């Protein structure tokens, strides 16, 4: 008998940490965690198996097929938006070819199991490319179908992988004599900028908010790389994890989209600064916009319309901006840096 497991790639990332911890809290530990670097020790005890491996290594996946029955795949591994701009082709390989490898694994698993394997894919607000600030202000909450013209390699990769997900779900080998019986049960969320109290992001362009908060808590100076009036949606990490788990549980018959917006709050960088100043009055935060990164953030929407997620799988965040700071970020971050 092959062992039944949940596969999580990119385990060491911010979402990986949040997801594995939450699953452990829910009593779920039949997790196979993969990361390109050795999986953090703090996570290993919460997983059945922690592998160091490359998602571009097909042999790794071939071995997994023979040993495991994969119930659900959370494919979290990716090169984020700022990092991807420095090595666009390498980012494409990891973000697109890596996802394709996982989709192939999911198809093979689906055939073995006689049902379609669930594939949870974090997409991003980086799939949007709003042409200019005037249109961004006027647009307000953007729908999933609006402005699908990303300006970053990461955004292109995420948008294309959503399309690939639809293909693997509905059209894979459509001309074959024996059409694919199950396909992949692909489900995706376009996450806003995420703010975690327990990890610090690396390589994203929405990192200015979490960086500002974590630096202030450590009494370190910080130069915010976007203008004070920069506004994009953000979310506290526990809500991001809640969304992934809710979408995983949702009844497929109710799902009307391959990729869903989800919203929580959308403060400007200046509004975040003001909250931080109240909590840490001695913090030394300056605004020194990096014009190139600014240009990227300016193409991301100021807010998202998440009506579809509300209707289809009862999405509702637990944390608004105030509660995120008061009940999650401040208590957890302060404890973290007191040690």
Binding site for ligand SER (CB under 6 A): 80-81, 124, 126, 154, 191, 193, 204-206
Residue placing its CB nearer to ligand SER in the complex, 80 or 106? 80
Give the three-state DSSP class for 184: coil
Residue placing its CB nearer to ligand SER in the complex, 64 or 126? 126
- In this structure, the number of other CB atoms found within 10 A of the CB of residue 59 comes to 9
Q: Which residues have CB under 8 Å from 18's CB, separation 6+?
A: 196, 198, 199, 237, 238, 240, 241
Give min distance, CB of 128 to ligand SER, in A.
11
Give min distance, CB of 173 to ligand SER, in A.
31
Residue placing its CB nearer to ligand SER in the complex, 99 or 205? 205
Give the three-state DSSP class for 15: helix
Give min distance, CB of 245 to ligand SER, in A.
19
For tokens 């029955």, the residue is: 69
The secondary structure of residue 27, as a DSSP letter, is T
Residue placing its CB nearer to ligand SER in the complex, 70 or 153? 153
Q: Are 303 and 261 in contact (CB under 8 A)?
A: no
What residue number has its CB nearest to ligand SER?
Answer: 204
CA dist list (Å): 117 to 108, 121, 180, 240, 282: 9, 13, 13, 22, 51
Give min distance, CB of 227 to ligand SER, in A.
16
Give min distance, CB of 202 to ligand SER, in A.
10
189/263 Cα distance (integer angstroms):
11
Residue placing its CB nearer to ligand SER in the complex, 165 or 204? 204
Residue placing its CB nearer to ligand SER in the complex, 117 or 164? 164
The runs of H, that is alpha helices, within 231-329 are 237-249, 269-279, 291-298, 307-313, 321-323
Give min distance, CB of 193 to ligand SER, in A.
5
């Amino acid at each position: 008998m092959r062992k039944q497991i949940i596969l999580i790639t990119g385990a060491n990332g911010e979402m990986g940490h949040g997801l594995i911890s939450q699953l452990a809290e829910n009593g779920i530990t039949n997790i196979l965690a993969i990361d390109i670097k050795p999986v953090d020790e703090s996570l290993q005890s919460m997983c059945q198996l922690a592998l160091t491996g490359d998602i571009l290594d097909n042999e790794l996946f071939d071995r997994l097929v023979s040993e495991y029955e994969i119930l659900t795949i959370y494919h979290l591994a990716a090169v984020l938006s700022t990092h991807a701009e420095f090595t666009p082709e390498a980012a494409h390989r990891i973000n697109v070819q890596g996802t394709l490898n996982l989709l192939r694994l999911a198809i093979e698993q689906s055939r073995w199991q006689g049902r379609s394997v669930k594939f949870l894919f974090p997409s991003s607000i980086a799939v949007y490319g709003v042409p200019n600030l005037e249109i961004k202000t006027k647009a307000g909450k953007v729908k999933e179908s609006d402005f699908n013209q990303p300006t970053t390699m990461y955004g292109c990769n995420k948008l294309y992988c959503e399309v690939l997900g639809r293909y693997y779900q509905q059209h894979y080998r459509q001309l074959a004599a024996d059409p694919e019986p199950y396909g992949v049960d692909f489900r995706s969320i376009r996450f806003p900028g995420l703010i975690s109290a327990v990890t610090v992001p690396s390589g994203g362009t929405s990192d200015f908010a979490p960086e500002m908060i974590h630096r202030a808590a450590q009494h370190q100076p910080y130069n915010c790389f976007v203008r004070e009036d920069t506004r994009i949606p953000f979310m506290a990490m526990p809500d991001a994890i809640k969304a992934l788990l809710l979408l995983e549980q949702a009844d497929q018959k109710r799902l009307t989209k391959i990729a869903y917006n989800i919203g929580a709050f959308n403060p400007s960088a200046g509004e975040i600064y003001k909250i931080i100043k109240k909590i840490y009055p001695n913090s030394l935060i300056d605004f020194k916009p990096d014009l190139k990164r600014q240009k990227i953030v300016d193409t991301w929407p100021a807010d998202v319309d998440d009506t579809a997620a509300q209707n289809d799988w009862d999405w509702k965040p637990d944390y608004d901006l105030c509660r995120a700071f008061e009940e999650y970020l401040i208590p957890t971050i302060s404890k973290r840096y007191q040690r």
